[in-house]
Amino acid sequence: MRLASGEEALVARVLTKDGKAGFGFSLALDATEARHMAEWSAGARAVKPDLAARTGHPWEEAFVEGRPVPWEREPAFASLKWLSA
């Protein structure tokens, strides 16, 4: 996904068997990092992934500080189209 800054982010979505969605991201474009974050967000991974804030992006800062990720800060996020389960 192209961020408002012009940089790119890899965004992942995980759906659990009971229909809960979890989202994750990687500003380093690391699919494993994004998937692990999405799994944790959906409750499918017990341990929160260790992420060091590298860019100062609001998503990173929120995740590292344990606050909800402000997905709405990136207009392109709302435009993503997800496949149904």
**What is the tens place of the pLDDT at every residue in 25-80?**
999 999 999 999 999 999 999 999 998 888 899 999 999 999 999 999 999 999 99
**What is the tens place of the pLDDT at every residue in 7-22?**
999 999 999 999 999 9
Q: Is 73 inside any structural domain?
A: yes
Q: Is 50 inside any structural domain?
A: yes
pLDDT of residue 53: 84
Domain extent, residue 14, equals 10-79
Domain count, the chain: 1
Identify the helix (H) or strand (E) that includes residue 59.
helix 58-65
Q: Is 3 inside any structural domain?
A: no
- 18 φψ region: left (φ > 0), alpha (ψ -120 to 50), beta (else): alpha
Using DSSP's 3-state secondary structure scheme, residue 15 falls into strand
pLDDT of residue 83: 77
Q: Is 1 inside any structural domain?
A: no
Q: Is 84 inside any structural domain?
A: no
